[in-house]
Amino acid sequence: MIQTVHLGLVALSLAGTANALIVPTSPLTRAFSLSTSSPRSSSVSASSTQLRESKESTFSLSNLFGGGGAATASPNLRGKNGSGGSSSSSKHPSVRPHISPLNRFQKGQEPVQTKPDPLELLPSHPDAVSGVLESNGMPYIILPNKSPPGRFEAHLQVFSGSADELEPQQGIAHLTEHVAYMGSRKRERLFGTGSQTNAYTDFHHTVFYAACPVVTPRGNVPMLPMALDALQDVMEARVETSRLEKERAAVLSEMTMVNTIEYRVECQILSTLHRENRLAKRFPIGKEVLIRNWKNDDVRTWHRTHYRPDNVLLYLVGDIDPAKAVETIEEKFGHISADKQAADISIPALREEAFDLASALNNGSVKAAQSWHFPPVRHDWCVPKDREVAKELQVDTGRVPLVRAADPAEEEGEESPKEDPGYDLQLQESYELDEKVDFLETKHLAPGKDIRPHMFKHELLQAFSLHLFAKRPVEEIVDLDSFRRSMARRVALAALQIRLNVGGRSDDPAFTFVEFNQLDSAREGCAVCSLDMTAEPARWKDAICKSLAEIRKLGLYGVTPGEMERYASSLMTDAEQLAAQGDRISHGDQLSYLMETVANGHTFMSPMQSYQMTVKALSTLTLEEVNQAAAELCSHITGFHKESDGVDGPTIAVACMPKGVEDPENPAYCDEESLTQTIYEACQQEVEPEEDVVVPHTLIPEEELTAAMESNPPEWSNGKFTDGTPDTAPDSLTRPFTLRRLANGIRVGVAPNNAESQRGHLRLVAPGGRDAERRLGFKNGAMAVGSRTMQEGGAFGPWTREQVELFCVDHLLMVEIKCTEESLVFDFVFPTTNVGNLGFGDDVKLGITGTESVMQILREILVGFKWEADALGRSKQSFRSSHESLQKNLEGLSTERVAEAMTSDDPRYLSIDVDSVNDITLDEAKTAVMSQLLPENLEVSIAGDFDVVEVLEMVYKYIGTIPADTNSEYKLESKGIPDWTGRVPTPQEPGRHIELELPDSDPRAVAYVAGASPNAWGYLSDGTTVTERVLQADKRASDFDKQRRSHPLFAFAALGLISEIANRRLFSTVRERKQLTYDANFSFSGFERLLGGWFLVTVTASKEKAQQALDACKETLAALRKNSPITPDNVESAKRVILNRHEGELRTSSYWTHLMSGIQEESVPLKGPLAVTDFGAVVESITARDLQLTLETLSLDEDKLYTAIGRTVLPEGSEINEDEVVRQAPVIGMRRGGALTG
């Protein structure tokens, strides 16, 4: 098991400060998708015996509304009298006049001038084209973009998601997404063209997309019409029984797959945060009992109700001609109309209910009032007393009036109801399928001091976590004034996050993770200000006090002048980098930003326009404005002080913790009352203003570097390789990279990459990792714990850890140090321009470049790092928490058991147990890591938007002057190198099957198939290679075959293609044909330096079908070898995927450093320059026969396989309660991004 150490040591970038200090629990996925390996949802169980599935069931959506002869199962949303449109008309029941989803792209939507002096409006992107089709009013936005050239993306956004579902439709938006896209014949035409297609469902929308080349790889046929054909097919989807059954099975499997404890936590969070609106009862995965019983008409009715021209928005971004694109849009979509869709709405009760829902949302939701992209909800706003919320956003909690005059289905002369009963739009009344959750009511502590608490305790939780929220209206950023306020908020948030990070890495940190942020959320229809914090259960009170004290300090006293200067400068650098990127920003990034900007009603600017407005805003932004923004951000916390007037609206508090602590005297005990009291008391603490820290502008003075040059003159030598490539000269520049060695032994590779403007990536690799722990006789885990200790530290030379951290903040550096099974890896992300600048415009004082600052950090890590006991303590705590959490994670524990069996309990591949962690001393951790940081072992790879000559000069000065004997005092000789060192243990034969049971209140299962395989470069654990085995097996191989298979890259390429083909086969067999799972995945361990490895097939299924799913995976692998071998079509399709992925990743500097790492290492003998220069040619040359023979190097025989099934079982003493909570998965994690990401 790889022990990864994330973002601690000076890992603070203003583009993502919120995640910079301590790794949080697994980040949670934000939406449901057709194909994913990440958790998406949570399982549900039937909550009503009336709706239990039976073999003879004829259950339909209409049953819940009394259709089809069934009794009504829930209260009428329209009230006792009922109302609704007649189903006799062909007019669409949901069509109403509404605000345009184009928002600021709609002509005539310029902000109203409300001040005496006209506001300076933000400029709109000059190249973006928008409009609506004259034939049916369907809107579109087109953005020409050249990165990468020859490709485009088309996204169709349907403005209906789970929040729009009626009572008997819970989960149907997600199921319809599956049926509409997976059932599209036209989508299938994109296969094999290098296109990627997918779809996802959220609270507020469903999105379908296709990312394609401009023309087909063969034939040069334009692909925009083909992509739009696929999306048009979605709008006119056929609902076929065979496809519905396949996707029903996939969604039910998805429920099981995603029902992790992280999602159950998110369910609790969102249910509390949005208790006053529909989101609390409308999670996208829906209700299992409903999903199992829907018929074709049910899905078709949802589709035809919501998939209509006025309720969608088409985005096109890429290398396209806008004029031609508009013509194609009209051609493909112009014939679709709402009336045509209405003709297929065949369930009268749902037609009537949809009519009333449409009327109600237009009269009482942020969707109608502010943005059609928002869900149809209202919010309990939490704002300062002096801030006025727009009247149209102040919606009452009760029933929303229905407007009958606009009923398109009302017969002439028909008498209208005498009384309007209103509509329970926000689902505040009780319904048959509701969860039974016991929430505390909002506690009124004092005027302006309201808190909504909720506790969630579970046996799978390991730590205490607090999630504190305030909901605020989204402020549209449309003019310089609103833009300045957004800049002020970002400066304040960055300052607070860095303070929290520094506090979290103090000598005795109260919390293990903390993040404070405020981001606009279109999916929730509001801006959410959030504090997310985790701590040891026994220290939860201390953690709350420490984190709230920092927030109060910012709210009361604001930022310091030094912080103002630091973070404003960082924002300027970010904007400058983005402007330099220009049209080199990828289609995907452009589209994500475009969709987010449009959804929230902001003005969409070009990178250059954004930079220009940033200069204007920051050049006049004052400390007072930033501190005012800080006061507003923190007002829900500062408002709890007894002398404060408080705020309008509730603060929401959700605490999650392990189950089982019942003694109030136990420090880990927490209930709603003690949680509320602790938060209130923490807000009474007296706090002092923050003091500025002296931050160095450079870590290494020029005189120190000059002395190093004199005492240890650097020198270049040839680059040397083991793949047959001739040595490279020490004084020449080569393409695509320059490869050399320094006289001290350090290998250097430098590659220019201007696709990421003004950004760079540096990777330092020291071969060894956990393999070296045993080879050199260190304690188990010493290398991993030591690398994390280095991450948690950061003091160099005369500088303290805090000063170094802030130096990295000033220079926008991010650092990640991790220990894998085979190496120590140091990754640095940095700007390549001058950073840490002071002032603006003509008065600016330039700092050193980010490139030079990262060279200084790297040099100090190697020669001047200070090892600190408190950093070791934080490192140990991280590993203890990781190991203990593993014991409560079904997937993690199951894979651990497989690894134990396959490696005969080799600790190099397993989690580090608590006793081993506790046994490691600071000196042992230090010696383990430093023994690897010998210049002769190191390889430095650098890629980015820079001048190669300048970078080589910096490497020459900063790295070349490191003495060759640096850290030699830590050098150890291998102690009688055993035969297992440097190779993966060969699994014992025969293989074995493992059954694992994990206590959990919810039913889940996961299955695995594993076996021995070569490493990434084709080496098996016995030292033989794929090439040797393939040539030996094919006695009739031609000279051309032998030449092709002898290429150093052959095995690497062949194994990559096999992985793609295996994944496609698993999808076709296990998901599509047998309908046993939502997702099955094939992967290789991918070691580069260790000989050998393994393959792993992961499949999720229900507990009842886990064995069937496991058998189906084994059957699929066996079929690849025997009765259904690899075909040329399989190979061609896999080649397109591999090559397109490679081309896309070549645009990132991190990929270039990955490619260069190992090129000059003797421990990776087949990896050299040819691995990059010949990649495309080798992949294209591989045949089906090559892959069939390579497949035989995997241990796929039945008696060699290792298999496992992990299942949950009810905890001891638990009973199934028919009335317990029906758990559903949330759609989004609360952690919405970094402080300065906008």
**Residues annotated as catalytic (active site), given as ranges:** 177, 247
Whether the CB-CB separation of 209 and 197 falls below 8 Å is answered with yes
Which residues have C-beta within 8 Å of that of residue 939, sequence separation ≥ 6? 746, 747, 748, 749, 764, 765, 1157, 1158, 1160, 1161
Integer Rg of the chain from CA: 30
Q: Contact 821/1085 with Cβ under 8 angstroms?
A: no
Distance CA 908, CA 823 (A): 12
Strand, coil or helix: 583: helix
Structural contact between residues 93 and 85, judged by C-beta atoms closer than 8 angstroms: yes
Per the CB < 8 A criterion, the answer to whether 932 and 786 are in contact is no
DSSP state of 865: B
| Rounded alpha-carbon distances, angstroms, from residue 1137 to 316, 1015, 1016, 1048, 1185 | 22, 21, 18, 21, 19
Contact yes or no for 815/11 (Cβ under 8 A): yes
Tokens of 229: 């054909």
| CA distances (Å), origin 450, targets 39, 156, 456 | 34, 41, 20
Q: Which amino acid is at 48?
A: S
Q: How far apart are CA 306 and CA 311, in angstroms?
A: 7
Q: What is the DSSP track for 603-615?
A: ----HHHHHHHHH
Q: Which two tokens stand for residue 569?
A: 């400068």
Q: What are phi and psi of 652, to 5 degrees?
A: -100, 130
According to the 3-state scheme, what is the secondary structure of 1181-1238?
A: HCCHHHHHHHHCCCCCCHHHCEEEEEEEECCCCCCCCCCCCCCCCCCCCCCCCCCCCC
For residue 428, how far is the Cα from the chain centroid? Answer: 32
DSSP letters of 678-730?
Answer: HHHHHTT-------PPP--S-SS-HHHHHHHHHHS---EE-B--SSSPPPBPT
Phi-psi region of 558 (alpha: psi -120 to 50; beta: other; left: phi over 0): left
Is residue 309 within 8 A of residue 333, CB to CB? The reply is yes
Instruction: Please spell the DSSP secondary structure of 1081-1133, one letter per residue.
Output: EEEE---SSSB-EEEEEEEEE-TTTHHHHHHHHHHHHHHHHTTS---HHHHHH
Helix (DSSP H) and strand (DSSP E) numbers for the chain: 38, 27
Distances (CA, A) of 178 to 182, 243, 279, 306, 364: 6, 9, 21, 15, 31
Q: Which of 393, 771, 797 is nearest to 601 (CA)?
A: 393
DSSP 258-304: H--HHHHHHHHHHHHHTTTSGGGG--TT--HHHHTT--HHHHHHHHH
b vs e for 1058-1086, b when ≥16 Cβ sit within 10 Å of the residue's Cβ? bbbbbbbbbbebbbeebbbbbbbbbebbe
Phi, psi of 971 (to 5 degrees): -65, 135
Amino acid at 751: A
Q: What is the DSSP letter of 85?
A: -
Distances (CA, A) of 474 to 350, 614, 649, 651: 33, 20, 16, 17
Question: Phi then psi for 523, rounded to 5 degrees?
Answer: -65, -20
Between CA 471 and CA 650 the distance in angstroms is 9
Asked whether the beta carbons of 119 and 482 are under 8 A apart, the reply is no
